[in-house]
């Protein structure tokens, strides 16, 4: 049998959870609560749902699913251009921001290059880098946050890319304006900063970096955002990137044709227009966050204050055993470390269900 290169054979694939229905069948439970993947618990915008239905029955070529999608994402780029005050050729559309991470890596790295990232952070960063034969340099978090000073110290002649998840997944922490500015000031030309801002709409702290200003100043930065989280379109897989025209032009050379589908593009346009849905999603998240903080405090369970729609909880016990015990209670969470779990902030009844199961499991 043909063998892959060692940097492929030694990769650990991403481990997705089983479908909820299959877990319920295996465990003999019903009405389980999924709090494992940081999805919007209220679902997508009603405006986005309406256009999805229209797309399925409409005969117009731009909406009909028997036609190939708009390969350039023209209408969605136009909508984003107006919202963000950027040119359309400064935007790239992807099958989720995951695909754009992979495209950026394949565009700007080659075997032997280095890419710097935090640990723990989004698992796709090191996977994409290693899959190309490049070397992921993982810098431990400091106080559960990216140590930007240490990341800048780690830059060598081989460094071509630096990943920053802000807010970070799985810890929910952010890097603030001052430290981000000092970090950017230290970087030399020729190093691409990939700022993954999948959860930026949830951030409430005023001291959050405005990465758009670095892009507008012509810096080598790629800003990634997604419709999977607060916009509730995770199942359609669509995201976007913002960068100077030269960066987008190079990435477009290897972007697969028709990489985002018609339904996703149309839903994303209307999701952007539904400001009420965005506000409601943020309000539900903030209320849920405060409730979970209060309950965890009452149980003397440690956690990391979050700027996202999930909470990183320090269990002090085996997280995999805890995960299985919670499954039996019909609550699905995500183990993300030996003694750490990540829990999505859900609807009020889902948050209450989590706390009830937590109390039962920990006795």
Per-residue pLDDT tens listing for the chain (363 residues): 988 888 888 888 777 766 777 767 776 777 889 999 999 999 999 999 999 988 777 766 666 778 899 999 999 999 999 999 999 999 999 999 999 999 999 999 999 999 999 999 999 999 999 999 999 999 999 999 999 999 999 999 999 999 999 999 999 999 999 999 999 999 999 999 999 999 999 999 999 999 999 999 999 999 999 999 999 999 999 999 999 999 999 999 999 999 999 999 999 999 999 999 999 999 999 999 999 999 999 999 999 999 999 999 999 999 999 999 999 999 999 999 999 999 999 999 999 999 999 999 998
Residue 347 CB burial class (10 angstroms; 0-12, 13-18, ≥19): middle
Residue 115, helix vs strand vs coil: strand
Q: Which neighbouring-strand residues pair with 34?
A: 332
Q: Is 96 left (phi over 0), alpha (psi -120 to 50) or beta?
A: left
Buried b (16+ CB within 10 A) or exposed e, 181-214: eebbeebeeebbbbbbbbbbbbbeeeebbebeeb
Residues of the chain with CATH 3.90.1150.10: 6-44+276-362
CATH entry, 46-273, from 2.70.98.10, 3.40.640.10, 3.40.50.150, 3.60.20.10: 3.40.640.10
For domain 6-44+276-362, say whether CATH 1.10.3720.10 is its number. no
C-alpha dihedral sign at 44, 48, 54, 60:
negative
């Amino acid at each position: 049998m043909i063998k892959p290169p060692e940097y492929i054979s030694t990769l650990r694939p991403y481990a997705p959870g089983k479908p909820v229905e299959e877990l319920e069948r295996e465990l003999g439970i019903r009405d389980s609560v999924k709090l494992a993947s940081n999805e919007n618990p209220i679902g997508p915008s009603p405006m986005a749902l309406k256009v999805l239905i229209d797309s399925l029955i409409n005969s117009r070529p731009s909406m009909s699913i028997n036609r190939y999608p708009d390969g350039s994402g023209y209408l969605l780029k136009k909508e984003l251009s107006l919202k963000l005050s950027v040119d359309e050729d400064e935007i790239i559309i992807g099958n989720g921001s995951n695909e754009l991470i992979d495209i950026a890596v394949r565009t700007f790295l080659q075997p032997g290059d280095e890419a710097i990232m935090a640990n723990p952070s989004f698992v796709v960063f090191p996977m994409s880098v290693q899959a190309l034969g490049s070397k992921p340099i993982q810098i431990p978090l400091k106080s559960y946050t990216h140590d930007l000073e240490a990341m800048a110290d780690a830059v060598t002649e081989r460094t071509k890319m630096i990943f920053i998840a802000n807010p970070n997944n799985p810890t929910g922490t952010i890097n603030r304006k001052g430290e981000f500015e000092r970090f950017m000031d230290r970087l030399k030309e020729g190093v691409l900063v990939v700022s993954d801002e999948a959860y930026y709409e949830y951030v409430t702290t005023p001291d959050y970096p405005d990465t758009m200003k670095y892009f507008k100043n012509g810096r080598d930065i790629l800003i990634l955002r997604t419709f999977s989280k607060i916009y509730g379109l995770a199942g359609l897989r669509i995201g976007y990137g913002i960068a100077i025209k030269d960066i987008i032009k190079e990435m477009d050379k290897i972007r697969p044709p028709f990489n985002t589908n018609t339904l996703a593009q149309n839903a994303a346009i209307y999701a952007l227009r539904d400001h009420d849905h965005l506000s409601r999603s943020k309000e539900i998240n903030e209320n849920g966050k405060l409730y979970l903080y209060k309950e965890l405090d009452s149980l003397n369970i440690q956690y990391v204050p979050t700027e996202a729609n999930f909470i990183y909880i320090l269990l002090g016990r085996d997280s995999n055993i805890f995960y299985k015990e919670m499954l039996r209670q019909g609550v699905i969470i995500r183990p993300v470390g030996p003694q750490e779990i990540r829990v999505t902030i859900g609807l009020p009844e889902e948050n209450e269900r989590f706390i009830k199961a937590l109390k039962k499991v920990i006795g």
